[in-house]
Structure 1
Amino acid sequence: MNNFVLYFLLLLLLSTVVDAANTAESPLSSIIAPQISPVYSSMAAFSPGIEVGRGKHGMGLKKKLLLTLITASTAMGTVILFLLCFWVYHRKYTNKSKERRGHSSDVAKGLALSQLRFLGKYNTFKTSCRKGSVTTMEYMVLESATNNFSESEILGVGGFGCVYKAKLEENLSVAVKRLHGGTSDAIREFENEVKLLSNIQHPNIISLLGCSIHAEIRLLVFELMQNGSLETQLHGPLRGSALTWHLRMKIALDVARGLEYLHEHCHPPIIHRDLKSSNILLDSNFSAKLSDFGLAVRDGAQKSSNIKLSGTLGYVAPEYLLDGKLTDKSDVFAFGVVLLELLLGRKPVEKLAPTQCQSIVTWAMPQLTDRSKLPNIVDPVIRNAMDLKHLYQVAAVAVLCIQPEPSYRPLIADVLHSLTPLVPMELGGTLRIAKPAPPAVTTMPSNN
């Protein structure tokens, strides 16, 4: 189609030039050409080398040529202007198409083909916040898929409610998050999570597949993360035995990438406000994704008077806890606590007595900076399984992230750059691991 248009325009340009040349030879040009002055004629009579007829013909030819060039230039300018307008329109249309295709491909990244086919059965609706759209699902379908929200299908329990495993089709399992009641806080968190997650897509942020509202019951449907939460992996029955040193560094890198997307690539930036190990979910490959955006806020909205202090003890930054000051550095503090959990295998807050608790930050800080003590406090599961230089570097990053003064903490982008070289290439980093040399083959001496 585009080639045909260009071919047509070129033919138009050639025909215009030919018409202009023919016009230069027409009788009209003799009318437009000025008359030869009498002075010139009299001079010709006294100058045998000059012929009046020839001079007239030469000047007329120049006029005709000038007229032809002017006409052709005007036509060419018109055609060029038309081509320019066509090119601008075509480029704008092409960019819009690419953006739409790019957005669709980004959404598809976190979903299997079976999930996409299933979601195609449902319509979309606008949230009450009027930003973005999300797929609606029938309450009865989700109720049946969770076996009437049976306790045997519970994947996790939190302050918001329960998360259930649901089987929608033979090869499609999802996680259904059921929020408690119809309180103003529950409704606000539901709408906030729908609004944010329907507008952002990233490999390290949980994918929202749909939602449902039935009376006062509100349901959110997410992709299923087969290895549960980081909290369960570290502090559950397995006690971190499935997480090697390199897997822990991969998880830290994934979390940093998710936060970096929220802080640096969302406009305005998003502050998660409740980053913790229970809100970091792991898929079948132990890739980490941030979840639970009910308390997340846009940067600038935290200054609003209706934003109340929220978070989880042990992860809340001191300036937010004491002064209510919330910035992206508050998420960096929480990331530092998660990094300590990965490094030490300890909970963020541990009970020393019925009425006494100890923070992992308070306990670990003096030992993190002491190279002689640091190897002794590392989780026994990974102790002696890493390069000591890498251990010291991770500890240094953690120390910077949990600084009491927010201005001393690094940006999450800087944390990301520090951790990337510590993760093997096959796990998403840049670390090259030398393969062990094959054992030498020894030959037995011959008896001959």
Structure 2
Amino acid sequence: MEKYDYEELVNSTQSFSPTRLIGRGSHGSVYKGVLKDNKLVAIKKPTRSPEALHDKSKVDNEIRVLSSLRENPHVINLLGTSQDSANGKLLVMEFMPNGSLHDLLHVSTAPPTWPKRVEIATQIARAVRFLHEGLPLVIHRDIKSANILFDSNWNSKLADFGLAVLQLDSPSQVSQPAGTIGYLDPCYTTPSKLSTKNDVFSFGVVLLEIISGRKAIDMSRAPSSIVEWAIPLIKDQVRISEICDPRIALPTFMEPTIRHMLCIAARCVSSNEDQVRPSVAEIITLMENPLIHERVRFPIWTSLLQRMVLLSRRRKLASRLQARSCAATKQGDHHVHSHLSSGTLLLKEVLADVTHK
């Protein structure tokens, strides 16, 4: 990890000019910097406030956690650090030019397409799996749309590790439960309740946010919580379409995928964290099944009749998957896992049927 000269960072940000400010949080501000070699970087500077000591601990923690990780395509990359005259530490991160998922969903006038939403959700899940399966294991504790950033190719990366916890830390070393209201797991009430399932809950909220285009907490709506609003609609299979972002039409070929993802989200935010909430590895197995969200493609020589037959079979498959996957939420949380599993098996059976006919 490189040690940067503080004066170089000052010059690279035009003395931390407001025109170079690209983000601000409770623990600090992030500036766009242009280094001597014209390399673009993001420089995270701690907030100077009565809580400066607290902020300093967040910066130290972020450095410690990110330094423990090997490079991953879906986790923000820490390039190095610096230190100002008051011994305050600054983080130099890779520059993410396309903003956050929060801005893409709630600020941008061009909402993402449905295939892009599936891609984003899958990339986030991969990032969380990387943390949960690492040595040492890392629990992020603040997974939310504002902490998911996009690089120049619009690939998503998980950022802001100020609240993250290494598995090496014992519960006595971990502070009180922390996170962001709306994304924070209600089961995480004491340090001893810290687990990877807390991140799974937060991921489930982000998944609902991606599909609905609605904020995790929106005080202008009733109920204000996206979880309280969405779960009853998911349980009522007929009303699932009401959850989908109304700004962009949902293509027929994407309907099975989105319904499947909503059922996964319902498991993630279940209050039954031990038996119903899946691990991130299981989530990815379900989400990355190529049969779930593969767009229908036809060779040029395929006749119209063949297309109609295949589409009909896929529609029947979607209906059967919906019945098996989502009916579980009507019957109780403990049935969800079995329905999802049977839905995946059914999918393979139908594909075999389509392939051989």
**Which TM class, normalised by the smaller chain length?**
0.7 to 0.9
Q: 1:267 maps to which residue? A: 135
> 1:250 is matched with which residue: 91, 94, 119?
119
Q: Is 2:147 the counterpart of 1:279?
A: yes
Cα deviation for residue 174 of structure 1 reads 1.0
Taking a change above 3 Å as real, the CA distance of residues 367 and 213 of structure 1, as seen in their structure-2 partners, is same
- How far residue 377 of structure 1 moved from its aligned partner, in angstroms, is 2.4
The 1:287–1:395 alpha-carbon spacing in structure 2 relative to 1, beyond 3 Å, is: same
Does the residue aligned with 1:358 lie in a helix, a strand or coil?
coil
Alpha carbons 2:43, 2:92 under 8 Å: kept = yes
Corresponding residue to 2:90 among 219, 223, 229: 219
- 2:222 is the counterpart of 1:351: no
| Structure 2 residue identity aligned to 1:185 | H
Quick one: percent identity of the two aligned structures? 37
**Aligned counterparts of 1:423 and 1:348: Cα–Cα separation in 2:** 29
Q: Distance in 1 between matches of 2:202 and 2:103?
A: 18
Pair 1:434-2:297 in alignment: yes
Cα gap change, 1:321 to 1:236, in 2 (>3 Å): farther
Contact 1:371-1:392 at 8 Å conserved across structures: no
Q: Given that residues 369 and 395 in structure 1 are in contact (C-alpha distance below 8 angstroms), is that contact kept between their aligned partners in structure 2?
A: no
Deviation of residue 357 (structure 1)?
A: 6.7
Q: What TM-score comes out, normalization by structure 2 length?
A: 0.77
Report whether the alignment pairs 1:154 with 2:37.
no
- Tell me what 1:229 maps to: 100
Q: Which residue of 1 aligns with 2:78?
A: 208
Separation in 2 of the partners of 1:176 and 1:213? Answer: 12
Aligned to 1:297: 165
Instruction: In structure 2, give the amino acid aligned to 1:272.
Output: H
Distance 1:357 1:149, change over 3 A: farther
- CA distance in 1 between partners of 2:56 and 2:190 (Å): 27
Matches of 2:60 and 2:191, distance apart in 1: 27
What secondary structure, in the 3-state scheme, does the structure 1 residue paired with 2:4 have?
A: coil
2:223 and 2:229 in contact (8 A); partners too: no
Looking at structure 2, the residues matched to 435 and 136 of structure 1 have their Cα atoms a distance apart, in angstroms, of 54
1:218 offset after TM fit, Å? 2.3
How many residues are aligned here? 297
Mapping 1:162-201, distance limit 5 Å? 162-169=29-36, 171-181=38-48, 183-200=52-69, 201=71
Q: Does 1:377 align with 2:237?
A: no
C-alpha deviation, 1:187, in angstroms: 2.1
Does residue 309 in structure 1 map to residue 177 in structure 2? Answer: yes
RCO higher in structure (CA 8 A, sep ≥6): 2
1:375-428 CA distance string (max 9 Å, x none): 12200234323522112101111000010121120000000111113599xxxx
Query: Displacement, 1:184?
Result: 3.0
For 1:300 and 1:382, how far apart are their aligned partners in 2? 45
**1:349-380: CA deviations, max 9, x gaps?**
01138xx8711000111001222211122002
Contact 2:176 / 2:191 at 8 angstroms: preserved in 1?
no
AA at the equivalent of 1:196: V
Equivalent pair of 1:250/1:423 in contact (CA under 8 Å): no
Residue 167 of structure 1, CA deviation: 1.1
Q: Please say if 1:363 is aligned against 2:232.
A: no
RMSD of aligned residue pairs (Cα, Å) = 2.4
Give the Cα–Cα distance (whole angstroms) in 2 for the partners of residues 412 and 144 of structure 1: 42
**Paired position in structure 2 for 1:335:** 203
- Check the 8 A contact 1:190/1:218 in 2, yes or no: yes
Question: Aligned in 2, Cα 1:403/1:328: closer, same or farther, shift over 3 Å?
Answer: same
Q: Alpha-carbon deviations, 1:38-79, whole Å to 9, x = none? A: xxxxxxxxxxxxxxxxxxxxxxxxxxxxxxxxxxxxxxxxxx
Instruction: Report the CA distance between 1:242 and its aligned residue.
Output: 4.3
Q: Are the equivalent residues in 1 in contact too, given 2:61–2:161 (CA < 8 A)? A: yes
Residues of 1 paired with 2:190 and 2:88: CA distance?
A: 35
1:295–1:423 distance in 2 versus 1, CA, 3 Å: farther
Corresponding residue for residue 144 of structure 1: 11
Name stretches of at least 5 consecutive residues in structure 1 with no aligned partner.
1-133, 425-429, 441-448
Q: Quick one: distance in 2 between partners of 1:144 and 1:438?
A: 61
Structure 1 position 336, deviation (Å): 0.1
- Contact kept? 1:249, 1:423, Cα under 8 Å: no
Code of the residue aligned with 2:265 in structure 1: it is: A
SS of equivalent to 1:399: helix
Structure-2 separation of matches of 1:340 and 1:260: 19
Residues 1:417 and 2:285 are matched in the alignment? yes
